[in-house]
Amino acid sequence: MQQTQGSADGEALLPAEETLLVRRFQERLGIPGLVDVHTHFMPERVLRKVWAYFDSFGSGATGGIDWPITYRHDEDERLAVLRGFGVLAFTAMLYPHRPGMAEWLNGWAVEFARRTPDCLHTSTFFPEPGVERYVGEAVERGARVFKAHVQVGAYDPTDPLLDPVWGLLAEAGVPIVIHCGSGPNPGAYTGPEPIARVLARHPGLRLIVAHLGMPEYEDFLGLAERYGEVRLDTTMTFTDFSERIAPFPARALPRLAALGDRVLLGSDFPNIPYPYLHQLHALERLGLGDDWLRAVCHDNGRRLFRL
């Protein structure tokens, strides 16, 4: 059901060709650009470590899935690629894997946001002493979105140290993109139950569940149906790559269609094992209609972040 030549998983595209096709996708929909809530920018040496992690995937340690990084460029070039695609606003998803790291990452993110006006100032946190203080400071310094990674951080989102943080973020209305599903690898606290307990205590929390909660798609759709401020990002979903590993159940598509005002485009750029265009075509080929696509790729993000 591939709609445009060249968008097949893994098929290399010339940069100029891809840019043209990504622009054409938006022109056809009549949207002025894309809002991508899930892109990774972080200090260069941290990003290199993330890439090394994905490079190790082919080694068999994780089942032998190959994960070639499509946009392994320096920061300036990565920004130029996104802007060339017509991405009007994007994020700097960064996250700690141990204590003592989040505040340093947040300091970098302040500088990055300052020199990158089209990036939504992003911050992160870890359950550790001082977390309430530095999250409060990040909000005061203008953080527009947070990233939480329950799998990489290997922490319990119901950790008492985080309770005031969730409360603070709920009150401030700042969205949190949270990787809490069990894909691509489960963690001790991934899956719907821990985060459901957080939402029971903080029902107004603006969580954006990354990857539509892959592979526990239906459980996370259920949380979004129950809590009006819960949203979902499309990151990597419906691509040939993800459909091979964790296929989205066709029976849940009507529920996804019904949540059309709370689904947000996310891509995982630059750490994706296929061209950016493929994510857009993967959403298009769902057949949920142009209104749904316009909302997901542009309108919902613009409204949420008041762009």
The residues binding Zn ion (CB under 5 A) are 268
Closest CB 40 distance from Zn ion, rounded Å: 6
What is the C-alpha to C-alpha distance for residues 242 and 248, in angstroms, rounded to an integer?
Answer: 9
Nearer to Zn ion, 216 or 268 (CB): 268
- Whether the ω angle into residue 270 lies within 30 degrees of 0, i.e. cis, is yes
Give helix 15-29 / helix 276-284 axis angle, nearest 10°.
30
Length of the chain equals 307
Closest CB 93 distance from Zn ion, rounded Å: 5
Closest CB 30 distance from Zn ion, rounded Å: 29
Nearer to Zn ion, 31 or 85 (CB): 85
Closest CB 5 distance from Zn ion, rounded Å: 28
Question: How far, CA to CA in Å, does 13 sit from each of 20, 47, 241, 255, 295?
Answer: 11, 24, 17, 33, 27
| Residue showing the smallest CB distance to Zn ion in the complex | 268
Closest CB 195 distance from Zn ion, rounded Å: 17
Nearer to Zn ion, 26 or 235 (CB): 235
Nearer to Zn ion, 31 or 264 (CB): 264
Nearer to Zn ion, 53 or 305 (CB): 53
Closest CB 155 distance from Zn ion, rounded Å: 17
Nearer to Zn ion, 199 or 236 (CB): 236
